[in-house]
Amino acid sequence: MEPQVLEREAQSAIEGASTAAELDDVRVRYLGRKSELKQALRAVRDRETGMALNALRERLEKAITTRRRELEEAELEQLFAQEGLDVTLPGDPIPRGRLHLLTQIRREIEDIFVGLGYEVWDGDEVTAVWHSFDALTTDPGHPSRSPSDTFYLDDDTVLRPHTSSDQIRAMESRQPPLYLIAPGRCYRRDTPDATHSPTFLQFECLAVDRGITLADLQGTVLHFFRALFGPEREVRMRTSFFPFTEPSVEFDVTCFLCGGTGCAVCKHSGWIEMGGAGVVDPGVFENIGYDPEEWSGFAFGLGIERIAMLRHGLPDLRAFWENDLRVLAQF
Ligand SMILES: [Zn+2]
């Protein structure tokens, strides 16, 4: 092919390339190792022809470089136009988390007791059988000790079946007077349903001092329920039995939904059962080395989920563990 014809053809192919890939093809076709121009250069015998062909090669390379720059700029323009980035637009709001309802209630409970001068005791989820049963004077044959009720890690170690274990651990490591609450996760071999779960939160309240009586317990519980459920609440106690308290009571609070006139939540009695309590049995003090002649105390335990369910009208305990944000985000 005549060099002039070749140049016209190559220049028009370079102009016509509309993408970087097409331009690459053009370069291979006209300047590549097997191109007509390279073969002509290899075959050249005289200086004049050689100079002319080299000049042609340089012109074509320059044209390709120019075209490549044009294509790159056009591509960039197009990208900018497509993305339309406006740095002044506000971004998408980042969703903010919140504390789980049970955490909110646990902290509220802690605040109420801290306000009374109590200490928050951080207990252990793995405890000795001694702390969970023996020291609490639980009868060796008591059904709560059974492996079908309690999770045993070995013969002497269990997953805390109740926060009462923390009473013992606290008393073992301190001398009275003691005023503390121990909130924490407990474990029992329960099949999950609307009101049972193999894991649940409790808190234990323990006061040990000189001259503590059942009246102190009653006053403390009343203060607590009024702080939690409203200042009109009343508390009543019924006699009961627990191995580690004497006397033992169960306490009810006036229904905060109907105010005592009767509704579904209080089973039309006007009262809601809340939990067990009592004056610490002298045998417990003897077990941990306190002198029961000098010291007396009271203890009670409450389920944190039960408080949450009652206060917010939640019918199913499992809602706390399923972590459905549509439920949790309401609190
Ligand atoms: Zn009611």
Residue range 239-286, pLDDT digits in tens = 998 888 889 999 998 888 888 888 887 889 999 888 899 999 999 999
In terms of average pLDDT, the best of 136-140, 176-180, 196-200 is: 176-180
In the structure, what pLDDT confidence band is assigned to residue 149 with cuts at 50, 70 and 90?
A: very high
Chain-centre distance for alpha carbon 188: 22
- What is the 272 CA–ligand 1 centroid distance (Å)? 8
For 82-96, 143-157, 307-321, which range has the lowest pLDDT when averaged over its residues?
Answer: 82-96
> What local confidence, expressed as pLDDT, does residue 84 receive?
74
More confident position, 165 or 243: 165
Eight-class DSSP state of 134: I
Per-residue pLDDT tens over the stretch 218-234: 999 999 999 998 898 88
Q: Can you tell me the distance from the alpha carbon of 221 to that of 299, in angstroms, rounded to the nearest whole number?
A: 10
- What is the 234 CA–ligand 1 centroid distance (Å)? 13
The residue with tokens 């009720």 is: 149
More confident position, 89 or 159: 159
Q: Give the mean pLDDT of the chain.
A: 90
All structural domains of the chain: 3-83 (no CATH), 101-328 (3.30.930.10)
Q: Can you tell me the distance from the alpha carbon of 297 to that of 164, in angstroms, rounded to the nearest whole number?
A: 14
- What is the 253 CA–ligand 1 centroid distance (Å)? 10
Max Cα–Cα distance, the chain, nearest Å: 126
Q: Can you tell me the distance from the alpha carbon of 302 to that of 102, in angstroms, rounded to the nearest whole number?
A: 13
Q: Is the whole model's pTM more than 0.75, yes or no? A: no
Cα 162-168-173 angle, rounded to 5 deg: 135
Query: Can the peptide bond before residue 282 be classed as cis, meaning omega within 30 degrees of 0?
Result: no
Q: What is the mean pLDDT of residues 147-152?
A: 93
Structure tokens at 134: 């023996």
- What is the 2 CA–ligand 1 centroid distance (Å)? 105
> What local confidence, expressed as pLDDT, does residue 143 receive?
87
Q: Is the predicted pLDDT of residue 213 greater than 90, yes or no?
A: yes
Q: Is the predicted pLDDT of residue 110 greater than 90, yes or no?
A: yes
- What is the 318 CA–ligand 1 centroid distance (Å)? 23
- The torsion defined by the Cα of 236, 240, 242 and 244, in degrees rounded to 10, comes to 60
On whether the CB atoms of residues 265 and 259 are closer than 8 A, the answer is no
